Amino acid sequence: MTLATVAPRASLDGVSLDALTARLGTPLYVYSASAIRERIRSLQAALHGMDALICFAVKANSNRGVLGFMHEHGVGADIVSAGELWRALQAGIPAERIVFSGVGKSASEMDEALAAGILRFNVESHDELLTLQRVARARGTVARAAVRINPDVDALTHAKISTGKAENKFGVSIDEARRWFASRHELSHVQLDGLHVHIGSQVLSLGPFREALQRVAAFWRELVAQGHPIHSIDAGGGLGVCYREGHDQPVDAADYIAIVREALAGFEGRLLLEPGRYLVGEAGVLLTRVIRTKHGDQRNFLVLDAAMNDLARPALYDAWHDIVPVAENTHPMTTYDIVGPVCETGDTFARNRALPTCAPGDLLMIRTAGAYGASMASTYNSRPLAAEVMVDAGRYAVVRQRQRFEDMVAGEQPAKHWETA
């Protein structure tokens, strides 16, 4: 069920969007607490009876308010950097609910994560495994680790967010992982007892998940038969959401978990999941006002006060986001190129999009912006980061103040003190 069917456009969780933007300005990210809660609950319900932990992929929305909300609902974190570790810990997420993924963990990041006592590392290369062994030994501790398997499965998603093919930089082949386990006893400071797989993001069909999990499950059975205990299997993230109403058909969480249960039948260890987009994507919208309309020789442009620096997905992946007026608008339809003020042709949210004719000042909603929206924002063109707000049961809480110019340039300074390195 998409947001459109649960919430009228003019308000979200009982908060008037017009009143909210009158107070807080635009562009403005708004996250519906009830929608996030509903997603967490649907996943938790599907996992009923299993020893499972949901670790929210922090990269999808790293706002501390959102992370704190995850923590309140028993959700841990999947991190990919020391910065994300810091955010997760600051938000109150206990280290024992944090897993660390990514191909480029540095030795110092590993050390910080070990010091914090995180649950486990998802290891993606042999060099990383040896580095983890060295760092853990120096610290006098044992790192818990899982091998990230690259199952060579096509996730049937956008090439830039597909991660499970052999040609991708992520994970290692089952053949290589087999060699790691065979020499597992040489690792005095790494406890290699887990498997991890993540084939890509915005996956809209169950087939690729099934295929990847079946490969991992066959490998887990092989390892156990050889006497290697496997204490956790991390099925990654990737569940897609609806960006285009009437077009995208996300898989149901319960059906997805049924596939996991089926593939891992008999597994008695802990199941980890790393959803990002599924938990927050549809819960978030980006509110923006029309600055002006422009009638070019060939096209009508709708120029918004939001731009590619606020929401990079359309510019980066040609991603579709539904865009709708917030107030009822019964004007005849016009076909627009919907653009931002940034000085790049790529700063386009939509091309040839039909909307009821808009006028300067109209409030629009860019939908499904809760994941990889604010977390990928920049200040390009010296546009301060947008404010972010959570809404719940008729009230709102600002979780990020609109950035001031002073904050935007914090740390920059004139080249006055010249030193030699």
Residue 71, both tokens: 């923590």
Binding of residue 278 to ligand LLP (CB under 6 A): yes
Among residues 102 and 325, whose Cβ is nearest to ligand LLP?
Answer: 102
Binding of residue 313 to ligand LLP (CB under 6 A): yes
**Min separation Cβ 98 and ligand LLP, Å:** 13
Judged by CB under 6 A, the residue of 151, 164, 208, 276 near ligand LLP is 276
Judged by CB under 6 A, the residue of 13, 78, 128, 211 near ligand LLP is 78
Binding of residue 250 to ligand LLP (CB under 6 A): no
- Which span (81-89, 173-181, 198-206, 351-359) binds ligand LLP, by CB under 6 A? 198-206
- CA-nearest of 207, 316, 284, 186 to 251 is 207
- DSSP string of 132-153? HHHHHHHHT--EEEEEEB----
**Min separation Cβ 115 and ligand LLP, Å:** 22
Name the 3-class secondary structure at 374.
Answer: helix
- Which span (33-41, 68-76, 232-240, 400-408) binds ligand LLP, by CB under 6 A? 232-240
Binding of residue 239 to ligand LLP (CB under 6 A): yes
- Which span (105-113, 128-136, 236-244, 258-266) binds ligand LLP, by CB under 6 A? 236-244
Residue 181, both tokens: 């386990």
Judged by CB under 6 A, the residue of 35, 53, 57, 66 near ligand LLP is 57
Q: Judge whether 196 and 148 are in contact, CB under 8 Å.
A: yes
Question: Which residues are known to be catalytic?
Answer: 343
| Residue 363 to residue 277: CA distance in whole angstroms | 25
**Burial level of 379, CB count in 10 A (0-12/13-18/19+)?**
middle
| Residue 215 to residue 152: CA distance in whole angstroms | 10
Contacts of 63 (CB under 8 A, 6+ apart): 31, 374, 375, 388, 399, 400
Tell me which residues in 90-109 interact with ligand LLP (CB under 6 A): 101
Which residues are near ligand LLP by CB under 6 A?
Answer: 57, 60, 78, 101, 161, 198, 201-202, 236-239, 274-278, 313, 317, 371-372
